[in-house]
Amino acid sequence: MRGPHNIIRLIRTGATFERTGAMGVILDAFDAGPLLRITFRAVVWPFKWLGYKGDTTMPPAPRALTALGPAYIKFGQVLSTRPDVVGDELAAQLRVLQDKLPPFSMEEARQSLQAELGVTVDSLFASFSEPVAAASLAQVHKAHLADTGEPVAVKILRPGIEKAFRKDIDAFYFAARAIEVLSPASRRLRPMDVITHFEGVVMGELDLRLESSAAAEFAANTAEDAGFAVPQVRWHLSGRRVMTLDWVEGIGIGDNELLDQAGHDRRALSARVLQLFLNQALRDGYFHGDMHQGNLKVGANGDIVAYDFGIMGRIDEYTRRVYAEILFGFIRKDYQRVAEVHFEAGYVPADRDVEEFARALRAVGEPIFGMDASRISMARLLAYLFEVTERFGMETRTELILLQRTMVVVEGVARSLDPHMNIWESAKPIVENYIKESIGPKALLRDLGRTAMILTRFGPHLPRLAEDALIRLNNPAPEQKPRTKLAGLFWMFVGGAIVGGAVWISSLL
């Protein structure tokens, strides 16, 4: 129920941040001004007693987010990849939210697995370990198959997680509606649509059958990608609340010290993780939507291994081309073309000035082009980008939310591996290759071929369409004019010619 009771939930959120000490930490991280600090404290402090106490052994920010629930933890996971936005210390503290949360009991894990698969743990596995990783929605156990002894990873959803998540989302909807009512200017950001999108994405994580399917499709798409691996799904040991994958040894991609000790080249890993994401998004239109450090490992052979396929993104080919043209324009410093692409795609209202928008984009691109990541203030850049979107009336594109969020996370992971990376240099070969393959004569011929295949499906209907047209021609409606009849017959023959031409093009391709 999205009713007024959610006011208490939102007040308790602020009170929890105040009680745990997270409010001051977060305000410091975002360099909030005195007025904002005073306002927050004045509103929240009287209700401090309503806040959750949380785990006192944890630092303030993760303590507050963990106490508040899974949706808040998801937000903290995103921030944990952005030390350039929240600072190194806070990012390191938030990283425990990725896979080091308190686990649920072994007894609950065994009961969940037996209820889902219909057999006991001991009949399936020769060994079944304590949790090796615990995140907001599920935890993972290492096990060995009873029949072959092969090691596998068994992922089990947290008991009652669906109800807890619904509770958080309910409050988020209430907050989004309140923002839209109290701040009409915020409606361009479409807060209700954003929450709806977030709900849909995470609800997919709560059915591990969908995640198993996503893992299988993702593995097929990336099978030929050098330096990347996806564990195989064990379908007979997977269900709605349980998923079993092959076990892969590796070092967490966020553990720089261990990576260095193992002799891995962090600069190469940094470039590769960004390039892998761009390949997935542009080439396949299907990408891992939760590529934070907790879901990536580096194998002994140097391969990047991905886990946790609950959040996957899909974008259509037109959007991929728009996205690639925007990136390519930035790489070439062709801000005029970047602006034009925004207008052509409808991302900026048509009544705005394209030249002025191009100048605003230049102010975004020039300060960061050619610089290594350590010299770029991402917090300042994001603040300016927000100003630009407001100035030019750009609405939130819900179909791009996950793509944009993942890009931010992936860039954060790449920065953590190599603080001096140049994102444009890393992106350039992938984007250039996609542009060459997807925007140009070769792509035009391929598009015509696809169009021809679609049009040929209507070939069997042409005799009937011609007969219907001739009948209407000989028996016109009283109000129908001869010119209209002739036009209809003309376009019928044009349609036939198009289909015939399409068939010919298709045969050539």
DSSP assignment of 483-501 = HHHHHHHHHHHHHHHHHHH
Kindly list the distances between the CA atom of residue 395 and the CA atoms of 59, 196, 479, in Å, as whole numbers in the listed order: 36, 16, 45
Residue 492 CB neighbours (<10 A)? 17
Alpha-carbon torsion angle 132, 413, 289, 236, nearest 10: -30
Contact 187, 180 (CB under 8 A): yes
DSSP, res 4: T
Nearest to 235 by CA among 111, 114, 117: 117
Q: How far apart are CA 186 and CA 195, in angstroms?
A: 14
Please identify which residue in the block is written with the tokens 């298709």: 506
Under DSSP, is residue 350 helix (H, G, I), strand (E, B) or coil? Answer: coil
Q: How far apart are CA 90 and CA 29, in angstroms?
A: 7
Q: Kindly give, in sequence order, each residue whose CB lies less than 8 Å from that of residue 6, ignoring residues fewer than 6 positions away.
A: 170, 171, 173, 174, 175
Contact 413, 296 (CB under 8 A): yes
DSSP assignment of 40-104 = HHHHHGGGGGGS----TTS-HHHHHHHHH-HHHHHHHHHHHT-HHHH-HHHHHHHTHHHHBSPPP
List the catalytic residue out of 170, 225, 290, 308. 290
Alpha helical stretches, state H, 332-377:
335-344, 354-365
* Helices 423-438 & 317-331 angle (0-180, nearest 10): 130
Q: How far apart are CA 165 and CA 69, in angstroms?
A: 7
DSSP assignment of 162-190 = HHHHHHHHHHHHHHHHHHHHH-GGGGGG-
Q: Is 290 a catalytic residue?
A: yes
Nearest to 86 by CA among 61, 59, 69: 61
Active-site residues, by number, are: 290
